[in-house]
Amino acid sequence: MSTTHGLIGKSVKRVEDRRFITGHGKYTDDIILPGQTYASFVRSPYAHAKILSVDTNAAASMPGVVAIFTGADVENVNGVPCGWQVNFKNGHHMKEPKHPLLVADKAKHVGDAIAIVIAESQAEAVDAAEAIVVEYEELPAIVDASKAVEDGAPQVHDSAPNNICFDWALGNPIEEVDAAIAASAHVTTLDFVNQRLVPNAIEPRAYNASYDQYNDKYTLYTSTQNPHLIRLLMCAFVLGIPEHRVRVVGPDVGGGFGSKIFHYTEEALLTWCTHKLRRPVKWTSTRSESFLLDAHGRDHITKADMGFDASGNITALRVKTYANLGAYLSTFASCVPSYLHGTLLQGLYTTPKINIDLVAVFTNTTAVDAYRGAGRPEATYLLERLLDLAAHEMNMDPAELRFKNFIPPFDGVTQPGYQTQVALQYDSGNYHGVLEKGLAMLGYEDFRKAQKEAANNGKLLGVGFSTYIEACGIAPSAVVGSLGARAGLYEVGHVRVQPSGKISVYTGAHSHGQGHETTFAQVVADKLGLPMEDVEIVHGDSEAVAFGMGTYGSRSLAVGGSAIIKSLEKVIEKGKKIAAHKFEANPEDVDFVEGRFVVKGTHHSAPFSDIALRAYVPHHYPAGLEPGLDFSSFYDPANFTYPFGCHIAVVEVDKETGKVQLTRFVAVDDVGNIINPMIVEGQIHGGVVQGVGQALFEGAEYDENGQLTNGSYMDYCMPRADDFPMIETASQVTPCPHNPLGVKGAGEAGCIGSTPAVVNAVIDALWSGGHKVKDIRMPLTSERVWRAMQQ
């Protein structure tokens, strides 16, 4: 297939940005349907409370009210499901308490929905919701996952004793790991919290559900990352509607970061309501609701021990983690701390013995699920903090310690993939390369000199490293199926060549900021030798796209792009047959070169558009060949992809105030082949900012009653442009050996690599001033850093 056209690898400007930056994007909240009604919710102000009574009488007679439904009305409707089954160590299924569309008996977190009010206008819905009187009996709440498992702790669900959803272990037998740790010359131990984060997509969640009774057809507009998955979960598990009666559209979506993967109760409830009312029902989350209801990220409490021999080789890693799942199991909540976290604990290192012991716990808090990186940032944070701390404790250089322990380079083609101790087989890697490049960009030796000089002058400079790996391109269906996934994770790519030779591409991946309309068009135009304007990328509509699994886990290009390539190959193969007929040649003698079908060794050639027209006007056509040029393909990846990289942070810490200033950030990422370097760099920048946000600024804070005390932008600190130096990025390219584009994925890399680099840099700065601090709890506020220096 031709790749000489040269669009692949070019920083083409994003075609979708014109509509976004001029305010012409079309989001769910922009959609107003004939007969539109609006919903508002009554939500529990308590984290844990019995609902004694719900009085809707006054509200029902208020102006504009169309209907009110409470928990009693949906008691016989299923709750929203979890998409991944993890089993207890003893083989029993995880606990899956019902997550009802509205709660009738007991509220289990602040914001749990008790009633929905539907009215002619948004204002009338809000007013009526406020007039509903709910009588509660407040119960003691539990917030901390490690305390929730203790006897006597408040119970979130009766069906989950000690609040345990499941326990789980992975890796080498614990006895072997214990023995290896005990025999180690040095053991570095870290007790730490990977704090809870609020996803903060700029567009709040919004849904608009309608029902056409004359055609028995539902339409749900939803701000989602995966419309087909929502349709599958909602139809099959919640409402029991045949999926051909339901169209789900995810129009323009203003950011997801994972939080819009999941099937939320409101999606199903609005769809249920529209059937009852025969009128469209819309709900757009307020920002306060977003803080309380969009599934949060992280929230691990971990103790980890890493053993080393006398020369600094890692001997073993032992991890004990409590993962807070919140009050209900969100769609992928169960796999994030287990299969997306435990499986990454090999990192880039040859650690021979690894064991993770995990307890996944219910608490009276917002549900926790995938958030940019999903499990892999937690694994990376754990490993990279241990590595830098061990270097301090053993008085070794943190870069040297890494070089000593790196898995040697392997390309996955002539050399086999690397089999880890924790189930995965890495595809290809050159880990020395990214660290060497990072050190060169930083000017490492000069930095260490400057750091010493600064320390002599009473200034604290620090450098922190993070050499990360992630499992992306999610995911080979058979593998994830064997691990408990309740769906396949292939992707669909449909290429429809129009009679004029223009191309419509239908992808099951969904763009909510990633730039698919540009990148995918680059790939298709490049492969067909066409200008990009001749290619349209269609996504997000279950009625237009045959099927799809959506966008998360840095999968769109690696899996969705590969499906499109499969269809392009079919288009070209058929085109060759049509061209061969035209020139009275053998199809084997026809090449496709830079947009033309050429008979080898002749001057006979036809442009792509000519062959396309012949396919649709088949007057002179090969016998037995179907007309048309239209192919759909499913691509199921052979393996995950494994992007990796090296992030280095430089910070200055103010001795008097503890304030941390990030002065440099170097990111060398290997995401395999790159289609659009500008988009990759943008993804890295965005990811780094979110990762640094966790290190320095962000964190959801609950009080002991389960109240989120920083649920607004007054109190929840987001990273801002002026907190950052220019991020210095570079690429290394180690192609993925098992997909046709050789791509690995770039969406999460920045967020996975950056967090530990920054925390390590602050710790390094403190050690340079003689403060031998092991850990500071994130976010590293001035106060926390200052207090650490006073110890």
Partner 1 sequence: MQLTGNHVVEASPAKVWALLMDTDTLARIVPGVTKLEKIDDTTFKSTLGVKLGPVSAAFNGNLQMENVMEEKGFTLKIQQNSKVGNASAAIEISLTPLEETKTAIAFNGDVKLSGMLATMGQRLIGGVANTLSKQFFSNMEKELLP
Of 301, 287, 109, which is closest to residue 778 (Cα–Cα)?
A: 301
CB of 705 to partner 1, least distance (A): 6
Nearer of residues 135 and 533 to partner 1, judged by Cβ: 135
CB of 363 to partner 1, least distance (A): 16
Q: Is 511 exposed, middle or buried (0-12, 13-18, 19+ CB in 10 A)?
A: buried
Residue with tokens 């983690």: 321
Nearer of residues 45 and 64 to partner 1, judged by Cβ: 45
Nearer of residues 53 and 456 to partner 1, judged by Cβ: 53
DSSP 8-state secondary structure symbol assigned to residue 556:
I
Nearer of residues 292 and 344 to partner 1, judged by Cβ: 292
d(CA 629, CA 635): 19
Counting Cα atoms < 13 Å in the Cβ hemisphere of 168 gives 30
CB of 157 to partner 1, least distance (A): 21
Nearer of residues 138 and 723 to partner 1, judged by Cβ: 138
CB of 42 to partner 1, least distance (A): 10
Cα four-point dihedral sign 271, 276, 282, 286: negative
- The sheet carrying 49-55 orders its strands as 106-107, 49-55, 133-138
| 63, 340, 372, 472 from 376: Cα distances, Å | 50, 6, 9, 10
Contact by Cβ (8 Å): 537, 517: yes
CB of 74 to partner 1, least distance (A): 23
Residue with tokens 């669909």: 492
Nearer of residues 632 and 707 to partner 1, judged by Cβ: 707
Nearer of residues 366 and 514 to partner 1, judged by Cβ: 366
Say what angle helices 749-768 and 677-696 make with each other, to 10 degrees. 50
CB of 58 to partner 1, least distance (A): 13
d(CA 79, CA 151): 28
CB of 46 to partner 1, least distance (A): 5
Q: Is 786 exposed, middle or buried (0-12, 13-18, 19+ CB in 10 A)?
A: middle
Nearer of residues 714 and 726 to partner 1, judged by Cβ: 714
Of 769, 474, 762, which is closest to residue 638 (Cα–Cα)?
A: 474
In angstroms, the first-to-last Cα distance of the chain is 64
Residue with tokens 């079908």: 597
Site residues, partner 1 (CB under 8 A): 43-47, 110, 130, 138, 288, 291-292, 703, 705, 707-712, 714-715
Nearer of residues 45 and 255 to partner 1, judged by Cβ: 45
Residue with tokens 């807070």: 324
Answer whether the bond into residue 725 is a cis peptide, omega within 30°.
Answer: no
CB of 110 to partner 1, least distance (A): 7
Bridge-partner residues for 117, per DSSP? 40, 68
CB of 528 to partner 1, least distance (A): 53
CB of 782 to partner 1, least distance (A): 17
Bridge-partner residues for 38, per DSSP? 119, 282
Nearer of residues 101 and 134 to partner 1, judged by Cβ: 134
DSSP of 602-638: SS-EEEHHHHHHHHHS-SS--TTPPS--EEEEEE--S
Nearer of residues 110 and 761 to partner 1, judged by Cβ: 110
d(CA 545, CA 547): 6
SS (H, E, C) 471-521: CECCCCHHHHHHCCECCCCCEEEEEEECCCCCEEEEECCCCCCCCHHHHHH
CB of 130 to partner 1, least distance (A): 4
